Amino acid sequence: METTIKFYQTDTFTVGNRLLSEAERSVQAGMQRTNALNSGHRACQGCGEALGARFAVDAAMRATNNQLVACNATGCLEVFSTPYPESSWQLPWLHSLFGNAAAVATGVAAAMKVKGKQHIRVLAQGGDGGTTDIGFGCLSGMFERNDDVLYICYDNEAYMNTGVQRSSATPPAARTATTMPVGQHANGNVFGKGKSVPLIAMAHEIPYVATASVADLRDLEAKVTKAMSIHGARYIHIHVPCPLGWGADPSHTIKLARLAIESGLFPVFEAEHGEITGHRAIRAQVPVEDYLKLQKRFAHLFRNPKQVDVIAHLQAMADRNIRRFKLLEKSTPPTGGAAA
């Protein structure tokens, strides 16, 4: 029987997970890694998106035997990686606009098909703004046509590239440059639950939808690998903390990503053809306060008087996720997952 070693990261120092056996290490732990996103780029210290993108694209490169093309939406990832005349990308990479990464990827996939080069696979990537807001129409169209594209959203919960403004993925109560916790926004961002593109993607009944986090890079890699084994429209939503936008210590990126999972605020699950097929269990639920306290964007909740009601509301959201995605029950890891 296949054994799966439970793996919990303790902090950024064990990202390479060299304590594991060779077979179970991440792509990035190997010396033969592709390193699709080269070092020397201009991301901020502790950037969750740079980390997530490197692991995701490298895993996709390995899964496709380097036969991969990436399309990129406008955003931090594009700006920090391609300041002319330099480029960090070691694979064919195309940036067109903010809102069209999914449609451009459709075009690339169509060209590969018509040219008889279907072995060349297509990846589209964008931040939460380019995915949940301005690029949403193109993304939904790509899902609906079931185009052979894996779309990855790096969700750092606001428009970070333009100076931290609210997106439709910004959690309630968070402070951004456009939802300052004063006046009508006394609690920061308006109270909704944010737009869940993974659930909307599932409603399109595409072959594969997953959420992942930079706190669990082996799970992330496994999901990308699995996604590349499937044809048709696929979507992976990766939670990537932004030290600058969240007002967090750059060394806390992984810790924050983990607390988002362990509190229940960011449920890690996967779905096939619209049905949830797996989830990553949390060991013991931590209070949302542990997560919120580390970030200046929620600092106003803890000043006198402490916003007990608001924190309770966020806790209720986390509790609902735990019920809805059965996060306290035994994990059902991706089929052909981490240990494969």
Partner 1 sequence: MLKQIEGSQAVAEAIGLCRPEVICAYPITPQTHIVENLGQMVDKGQIDPCEYINVESEFAAMSVAIGASAAGARAYTATASQGLLFMAEAVYNASGLGLPIVMTIGNRSIGAPINIWNDHQDSLSMRDAGWIQLYAETNQEAVDLHIQAFRLAEELSVPVMVCVDGFILTHAYERVDIPEQAQVDAYLPPFSPRQMLDPANPVTIGAMVGPEAFIEVRYLAHYQQMQALGLIPELAEAFQQQFGRDSGGLVKPYRSADADTIVVALGSVNGTIKDVVDEMREQGVSIGSLSICTYRPFPRKAVRSALQHATRIVVVEKSLAVGIGGIVATDVQMAVAGLHKPVHTVIAGLGGRPITRDSLRKLFRKADEGHLAHLQFLDLKHELVHEEIARMEGQRHSGPSAENILRGMGTIASQIR
Told to check if 336 binds partner 1 by CB under 8 A, we report no
Token pair 């480029």 is found at 87
Q: In angstroms, what is the minimal distance from the CB of 110 to partner 1?
A: 4
Q: In angstroms, what is the minimal distance from the CB of 233 to partner 1?
A: 13
Which one of 140, 168, 178, 196 is in contact with partner 1 (CB under 8 A)? 140
Q: Which is nearer to partner 1, 104 or 314 (CB)?
A: 104
For the purposes of burial, counting CB atoms within 10 Å of the CB of 266, is it exposed (0-12), middle (13-18) or buried (19 or more)? buried
CA distances from 31 to 57, 192, 217, 238 (A): 16, 45, 17, 25
| Amino acid (1-letter code) at residue 42 | R
Residue 337 CB neighbour total at 10 angstroms: 20
First to last CA, the chain: 12
- Give the C-alpha separation, 190 to 158, whole Å: 13
Told to check if 79 binds partner 1 by CB under 8 A, we report yes
- Give the C-alpha separation, 259 to 237, whole Å: 17
Dihedral sign computed on CA atoms, order 168, 240, 317, 141: positive
From the list 76-84, 244-252, 274-282, 320-328, the region that binds partner 1 by CB under 8 A is 76-84
Residue 120 CB neighbour total at 10 angstroms: 17
The count of chain residues that interact with partner 1, using the rule CB under 8 A, is 45
Told to check if 180 binds partner 1 by CB under 8 A, we report no
| Amino acid (1-letter code) at residue 291 | Y
Q: Which DSSP category does 133 fall into?
A: I
Which one of 25, 33, 107, 324 is in contact with partner 1 (CB under 8 A)? 107
From the list 97-105, 208-216, 223-231, 275-283, the region that binds partner 1 by CB under 8 A is 97-105
Instruction: Show contacts with partner 1 in window 15-74 (CB under 8 A).
Output: 66-69, 71-72
Which one of 106, 125, 189, 315 is in contact with partner 1 (CB under 8 A)? 106
Residue 110 CB neighbour total at 10 angstroms: 13
Residue 335 CB neighbour total at 10 angstroms: 12
Q: Which is nearer to partner 1, 79 or 299 (CB)?
A: 79
Q: In angstroms, what is the minimal distance from the CB of 219 to partner 1?
A: 27
From the list 5-13, 100-108, 305-313, 331-339, the region that binds partner 1 by CB under 8 A is 100-108
Told to check if 203 binds partner 1 by CB under 8 A, we report no
Q: In angstroms, what is the minimal distance from the CB of 116 to partner 1?
A: 8
Task: Give me the residues that bind partner 1 (CB under 8 A), please.
Answer: 66-69, 71-72, 78-79, 82-85, 87, 89-97, 99-100, 103-116, 120, 137-138, 140-141, 144-145
